[in-house]
Amino acid sequence: MNEIWFAGGIVADGSGAAPSPADVCVRDGVIIRIGTAPADATTIDLDGMLLTPGLIDAHVHLGLSSPIRAQFGFQLSAAEIAADIFTTASRTLDAGFTTVRDTGGIDGGVVDVIAKGKVRGPRVLSCGPVQCQTGGHGYYGAAWEPTELWETHHIPGLAALSLMAGNADELRRNVRESFRRGATFLKLCVTGGVVGGHDSLDDTQFTSAEIAVAVEEAAARGTYVTVHAHNNAGIRNAVEAGVRCVEHGTDIDEPTATLMREHDVALVPTFAVIEQIMDPEALDVDPSTRDRLADTRRRMVEALRISRAARVRIGLGSDLLGAGQHRRGEELRLRAELESPMQALVSATSVNADILGIGDDVGMLRVGMAADMVAWARNPLDDARVFADPDMAAFVVKGGRIMKGDTR
């Protein structure tokens, strides 16, 4: 493949360093030079646009791209669910996200067809089904529905939200089944959650010994466990069991943040989903779900502040649900309001890549790294609302291929 120079742009490389003018040369999907393009080079003129690494969303649910109650109520065909998943994947790429970590909902077939280029989408890392305690968060069957019927909601190769375990042996079996289906990491729900009617945020789920079983199985495959966790008791159980990452972390206090830092456990806060759930027109959920959100955002903001002060690695995830996932960059806008646009960008690029274990390949604009890049029509570091507008992602490059943008 010929060398292509992305020239005339301002580079924000994902490290947090001040942006500076530079041209970026790409060959065979890899950045091979950063400097000044030769006069005779094949170039794409960025005309002063800000060039950033491709964004990474560390908490997505592609498999929950349909109206939730309709999907789990058997009201939608597999074809419609598939159409919604692939539409969301395409829109995610168009919004500037070249990598996502799917934290529950898709089965391995979705990852495969995107990787093969049969449908448009970002690079996808997936845990497969979430590992859940029987009757705990992640179970959305009707109250009268026997637990053993839950897996009839799965669509092999397409959608599989969660697997239920009543003890450590069942969890080990389910974890191994998830790896068989292609999972590259594991996710456990270790506290109650917001979207679900069978538990509360104060509940803890799975014991430390049970969580350790998943950690052991993940370590045997050279990977890690992340956990859905809101309260400190559940977080501490998970940290002591050896997990690598905490999702949400709503009530993290100073001792818990210190424990996370000592064990090098990262945090992925999720603010966009809170706004989504609070908007009755944005998401079709049971109205009681919104009652659970009272004071949640304020507590999550405080947890972010405490974790930052404790020097915890802090990534970024949107956790968007249902059909309204096209403005995934809202998470960066919200984080920018709490910290800064540059901090939001760093969390969504180099920090997320590090958390996901792919920091040697993506997350920064450096020689030798994959050419995942976004050129922004307006500078999001001046106005973070740009991150939230998919139309502002003028060029999206994934692995050296231009996936969005007019090269004429």
Residue-wise pLDDT for 179-211, tens only, equals: 999 999 999 999 998 776 677 888 999 999 999
pLDDT at 88: 97
pLDDT at 292: 67
Taking CA 191 as the corner, what is the angle to CA 306 and CA 144, rounded to the nearest 5 degrees?
155
Which strand (E) or helix (H) includes residue 125? strand 123-126
Q: Is it the case that residue 84 has pLDDT exceeding 60?
A: yes
Q: Is it the case that residue 328 has pLDDT exceeding 60?
A: yes
Confidence of residue 69 (pLDDT cuts 50, 70, 90): confident
Q: How far is Cα 177 from Cα 30, in angstroms, rounded to an integer?
A: 34
pLDDT at 282: 64
Q: Is it the case that residue 141 has pLDDT exceeding 90?
A: no
Q: How far is Cα 301 from Cα 111, in angstroms, rounded to an integer?
A: 33
Q: If you average pLDDT over every residue of the chain, what do you get?
A: 94
CATH annotation of 4-53+362-404: 2.30.40.10
Q: Is it the case that residue 408 has pLDDT exceeding 70?
A: no
DSSP code, position 28: T
In 54-180, alpha helices (H): 68-72, 78-94, 108-115, 168-180
Choice between 295 and 218, residue whose per-residue pLDDT is larger: 218
Kindly calculate the radius of gyration of the chain based on its CA atoms and give it in whole angstroms: 21
Choice between 332 and 407, residue whose per-residue pLDDT is larger: 332
Q: Is it the case that residue 237 has pLDDT exceeding 70?
A: yes
The letter for the amino acid at 377 is A
pLDDT at 324: 84
pLDDT at 286: 67
The answer to whether 400 and 372 have CB atoms below 8 angstroms apart is no
State the average pLDDT over residues 17-43. Answer: 97
Pick from 175, 168, 150: which is nearest to 206 by CA? 168
Domain ranges (residues) in the chain: 4-53+362-404, 55-356
Q: What percent of the chain has pLDDT over 90?
A: 83
Residue-wise pLDDT for 276-314, tens only, equals: 888 766 666 666 666 667 688 999 999 999 999 999 999
Q: Is it the case that residue 318 has pLDDT exceeding 90?
A: yes
State the average pLDDT over residues 214-235. Answer: 98
Q: Where are the beta strands (DSSP E) in 184-306?
A: 186-189, 225-229, 245-248, 266-268
Confidence of residue 329 (pLDDT cuts 50, 70, 90): very high
pLDDT at 22: 98
The answer to whether 94 and 139 have CB atoms below 8 angstroms apart is no
C-alpha torsion sign, points 118, 92, 326, 8: negative
Residue-wise pLDDT for 144-179, tens only, equals: 888 888 898 899 999 999 999 999 999 999 999 999
Which strand (E) or helix (H) includes residue 23? strand 20-27
Residue-wise pLDDT for 377-407, tens only, equals: 999 999 999 999 999 999 999 999 999 998 6
Q: Is it the case that residue 346 has pLDDT exceeding 80?
A: yes
CATH annotation of 55-356: 3.20.20.140
C-alpha torsion sign, points 226, 314, 222, 103: positive
The answer to whether 232 and 287 have CB atoms below 8 angstroms apart is no
Terminal CA-CA length for the chain: 19
Q: What percent of the chain has pLDDT over 70?
A: 95
List C-alpha distances in Å: 97 to 42, 123, 399: 26, 9, 12
Q: What are phi and psi of 41, to 5 degrees?
A: -75, 155
In 100-193, alpha helices (H): 108-115, 168-180
For 348, the 3-state DSSP assignment is helix
pLDDT at 1: 55
